[in-house]
Structure 1
Amino acid sequence: MRKILFMLFSVCIWGLFPFSTNAQETPTPNKTKKLVEEDEGPIMFKFEPDFVSKNEKKKAEIARTRSIIDTLNISDRKRLKLLRDLYKNGISRRLQKAMLVENTYDEIED
């Protein structure tokens, strides 16, 4: 008796609340809109449009600083440490200290 009532109850529930299942998704307008946005370029450029120019300026600054480090009269070990600091952290305290140069100008008397 319980089995029959259980079966009857489950058939009523199944009949009252049909569930639809789809094997494949149908295309929605939102997906086509996302494809159009990707064609415009990376999303990063929407929030930071001058990223490329900032990156180029940073590379130019690193190249200039590297050329300064290469002209310094220091040991190879210290030069490698300074270059590591430059590439990892940018301008560090150790790098500033090494690049600090005392300039003394002789006054030209007429």
Structure 2
Amino acid sequence: MKKTTIWAKSLVVFVGGIFMATAQSKADKPIKVQKRTLMDKFEPDLVKPVDERIALKEKRIASQQQTKKILDTLNISDRKRRRLMRELRRSPFSERIQKTILAETEFEDEIDNNPKK
């Protein structure tokens, strides 16, 4: 009985380790855009090609990630940070987020010109 218990516990630990390892090596999902749009059907000259739309989407995602990194480093309360992160997911180019980043950012020139006493 003790041997089966030991084997069962070791099997659980082994399977758990495999799941943890596969969860960490998860690959990013490819970016998808709609190949044919309704606008493409009627006005093909006004619609950007698929590869250009993918590039724009990648650029937008990179901008969101950069803004998220900036929000993580700001010296603001956790509640405000969570609210701004939620706002970032809903509308990435929000005025509220940009105002907060500009208001909380201390530039190096300001720090060098105004030494603390």
Alignment TM-score, normalising by the size of structure 1: 0.52
Instruction: Indicate the structure whose relative CO is greater, using CA pairs within 8 Å and at least 6 residues apart.
Output: 2
| TM-superposition CA deviations, 1:47-74 (whole Å, max 9, x none) | 3211100000000000000000001111
1:64 aligns with 2:57: no
Residues 76/60 of structure 1: CA separation in 2 closer, same or farther (3 Å cut): same
1:106 aligns with 2:112: yes
Specify which of 38, 43, 64 is matched with residue 36 of structure 2. Answer: 43
Over aligned residue pairs, what C-alpha RMSD do you find? 2.3
Structure 2 residue ranges without an equivalent (≥5): 1-33
The structure with more radius of gyration: 1
Alignment TM-score, normalising by the size of structure 2: 0.49
For these two proteins, the number of residue pairs brought into alignment is 67
Structure 1 residue ranges without an equivalent (≥5): 1-40
| TM-superposition CA deviations, 1:12-36 (whole Å, max 9, x none) | xxxxxxxxxxxxxxxxxxxxxxxxx
Structure 1 runs (4+) greater than 6 angstroms displaced: none
- Percent of aligned pairs with the same amino acid: 39
